[in-house]
Amino acid sequence: MINSFSKMSTLNKVLLISAVGATTAYAISRWMREKNKLNLQDKVVLITGGSRGLGLVLGRMLAEKGARLAICARNAEQLELARLDLVGHGAEVIALPADITDTNQVEALIKDVISHYGQLDVLINNAGIIQVGPHEAMDIEDFEAAMKTNFWAALYTMLKVIPYFKKQGEGRIVNIASIGGKIAVPHLLPYTASKFALVGLSEGLHAELKKHNITVTTVVPGLMQTGSPRNVTVKGNHKAEYAWFKISDSSSILSLKTETAAANIIKALEYGRPEAIFALSAKFASFIQGIAPGWISEIMAAVNNIMPGATPTGEQKGYESESFISKLLGGNSNVAALKNNEG
């Protein structure tokens, strides 16, 4: 074999050595990823906004992996329905009513979880709100409400768990952001602004906490068929605004099934990835934004030209804004709402 190698041309030697080196590097990298993979069996996972939608689906799938769950939400009735659902899926779970925009309630929440289980290993910041409508229909209070839930609440929970994670020598945090935190989406400005803030916070904390063996994963999903449109806040032309949002959310082309999204999120958690962008549409949009941000801005401006006009008529919940067209073309969202406690 040595003689065969010595007879090779210089180019072939270089190619062979490069191939062996690349294969070895890949094998070592894969071994390191598997070595650092988190085994979720008996790990304690706190999911904010865990009573419905993506949070509930994450709970079901984490239970299948043997995780012990704590879920929180503001609505005690929905929370109890979610707890019963998760118990039915074999989960060990506690349900704790809490408003995580209140720092005192966040502190009590974290203490209650640790007191009950004796540990906390993973925090999933999933709670969020969405207001749909043009900027003319939004008040300053809409932006403040979005920031409170989508940004400040996530910061509060992280600030409470980070000292605990440092003390125990490890921990994992997953922040459910949005492609709306990478690309500004018209008629979702309070949501988009708050998710941009969350992406920056999450990425910065990953960089600072890595040395403490604390991994922060920023999840950047596109649309998901969670059934959540029923519970968004709609402003402006209610029926028209709700129709475009719900139909987009229901589209098999534009949106992912929640179970697919949840599986990808859990995989990113297990491997401690710094970022998870898994929908093809979100990956493409993020890529174009990175190489040609001006194109995305022009595309969004063009999209805005065909959006509903401003009609300052107060606000409604999504389910109050249904129309024939949203019912007709929003079938996937309707099915998901029934399945994921969004009704």
Residue 89: CB atoms within 10 A of its CB come to 15
Residues 205, 173 contacting (CB under 8 angstroms): yes
For residues 121 and 69, is the Cβ–Cβ distance under 8 A? no
Q: Catalytic residue among 117, 156, 191, 242, which?
A: 191
Residue 249 CA neighbour count, 13 Å, CB half? 29
Pull the structure tokens for residue 285. Answer: 């949009």
Structure tokens at 149: 């839930």
Residue 37 dihedral angles phi and psi, to the nearest 5°: -65, 135
Is 319 designated active site?
no
Closest by CA to 38, choosing from 174, 155, 156, is: 174
Euclidean distance between CA atoms 213 and 167, whole angstroms:
11
User: What is d(CA 42, CA 215) in angstroms, rounded to the nearest whole number?
Assistant: 19
Percent of the chain that is helix, strand, coil (3-state, to 5): 60, 15, 25
Residues of 36-66 as b/e, b for ≥16 C-beta within 10 angstroms?
eebebeebbbbbbbbbbbbbbbbbbbbbeee
How is residue 21 written in tokens? 């080196």
Name residue, tokens 């929970």: 157
Q: Give the residue numbers marked as catalytic.
A: 191
